[in-house]
Amino acid sequence: METADIKSMTLEEVSGMLEELGEKPYRARQLYQWMHQKLARGFGEMKNLPLDLREKLGNRFSYTDLKLVRMQESAFDGTRKYLFELSDGNLVESVWMKYRHGNSVCVSSQVGCRMGCAFCASTIDGLERSLLPSEMLDQIYAITRDTGERVSNVVVMGIGEPLDNYENLLLFIRLLTDENGLHISQRNVTVSTCGLVPEMKRLADEKLQITLALSLHAAFDEKRKKLMPVANRYAIEELMEACAYYFEKTGRRITFEYALVGGVNDAKEDAEALGGLCRKLNCHVNLIPVNPIKERGFVQSERDAILAFKNKLEKYGRNVTIRREMGRDIDGACGQLRRRQKALG
């Protein structure tokens, strides 16, 4: 029999469950605190809970925990990339980045991915499975324990398509931002999607204060289809409508992510078309020099082409940033570390 995953339960659920077990109400807060504030790795650490209760919980519930397989730290900027093993042996990656405004963690939402983007290493072997809310939290908890520093920003931009794991993602955000947990501000949480329109609208209706980032990567449908198979399902026009709807419902400015691939999407016409899309929306554009992926033969745009693209785009009156390339020396890009480990193993 599969046991219930206790770290994916809300405080109300934990309270209800303990009440059924005949426990005093204050035990719920203690247990929840051990899991989500003291970041315990198992029931054994929960010293102020009676031994028989810990045993009872151990028999009834599963307690997820990650095993650190390897950690690489960038010699340039202190970025740390973690490779973790889940309880079923699958591997996921997370990244810890230190910025002036605080520490940021990039988490994975699935083992592998089925979206098939041509430039992305995470999707090469397809989707293995989705992560539980607890397994997404565990990445942040393990890194917090390892660094001893508070995480203030979370971006769901690691392996996987978060909106392809919708229910678990929502519960993860709820637990992460809960005042009885790490209490990370919703405004400091970003979810990045390749553009699943129905889920983007559904997310808008939740009226959360999180940032939605859309991986656009091309401003023409035909070009986008070559880079991202999901573009066969949703046209750019539908994506723009979904973004406008998200802004209307939440008041949160959209981020467009645009990975610049040399000779593919970095020409003047591309910048103009992207500028045209931006003009209609309250958005911010994040240009990402593509991380070269050997398997796919994609190369980075020249430095001059990147700056020219940025200048052109800024004429449309939108804020444009070029993503700092953190952790280039440690396989910073999505899925690269996991792939290498799999190749070795």
- Residues annotated as catalytic are 93, 334
Binding to ligand SAH by residue 288, rule CB under 6 A? yes
Q: Supply the DSSP string of 94-124, one letter for each residue.
A: EEEEEETTEEEEE---EEE-SS--TT-GGGT
Among 32, 43, 119, 234, binds ligand SAH (CB under 6 A): 119
Binding to ligand SAH by residue 334, rule CB under 6 A? yes
First to last CA, the chain: 30
14 versus 194: smaller Cβ distance to ligand SAH: 194
Q: How far, in Å, are 79, 263, 337, 342 from residue 83 at the CA level?
A: 13, 33, 7, 11
CB of 53 to ligand SAH, least distance (A): 39
Q: Which of 110, 215, 84, 204 is nearest to 165 (CA)?
A: 110
Stretch that binds ligand SAH, among 78-86, 199-207, 218-226, 283-291 (CB under 6 A): 283-291
> In the range 207-266, which residues lie near ligand SAH by CB under 6 A?
215, 257, 259
CB of 162 to ligand SAH, least distance (A): 6
Task: Using DSSP bridges, classify how beta strands 91-99 and 80-85 pair: parallel, antiparallel or unpaired.
Answer: antiparallel
Binding to ligand SAH by residue 290, rule CB under 6 A? yes
CB of 52 to ligand SAH, least distance (A): 44
135 versus 257: smaller Cβ distance to ligand SAH: 257
Identify the bridge partners of residue 298 per DSSP, sorted by sequence position: 293
3-state class (DSSP) for residue 62: strand
Sequence-separated (6 or more) residues with CB below 8 Å from residue 271: 308, 309, 312, 313
117 versus 243: smaller Cβ distance to ligand SAH: 117
194 versus 219: smaller Cβ distance to ligand SAH: 194
Stretch that binds ligand SAH, among 6-14, 48-56, 113-121, 241-249 (CB under 6 A): 113-121
Binding to ligand SAH by residue 95, rule CB under 6 A? no
CB of 133 to ligand SAH, least distance (A): 17
Q: Supply the DSSP string of 242-296, one letter for each residue.
A: HHHHHHHHH-PPEEEEEEEBTTTS-SHHHHHHHHHHHHTS-EEEEEEEPPPBGGG
111 versus 115: smaller Cβ distance to ligand SAH: 115
Helices (H), 37-147: 51-60, 133-147
182 versus 218: smaller Cβ distance to ligand SAH: 218
User: Residue 345, Cβ neighbours under 10 Å: how many?
Assistant: 7
Binding to ligand SAH by residue 291, rule CB under 6 A? yes
Among 192, 211, 255, 301, binds ligand SAH (CB under 6 A): 192
The span from the CA of 33 to the CA of 279, in Å, is 46
3-state class (DSSP) for residue 308: helix
The span from the CA of 84 to the CA of 69, in Å, is 5
> In the range 146-175, which residues lie near ligand SAH by CB under 6 A?
157, 161
- Where do contacts with ligand SAH occur on this chain (CB under 6 A)? 115, 117, 119-120, 157, 161, 192-194, 215, 257, 259, 288, 290-291, 293, 333-334
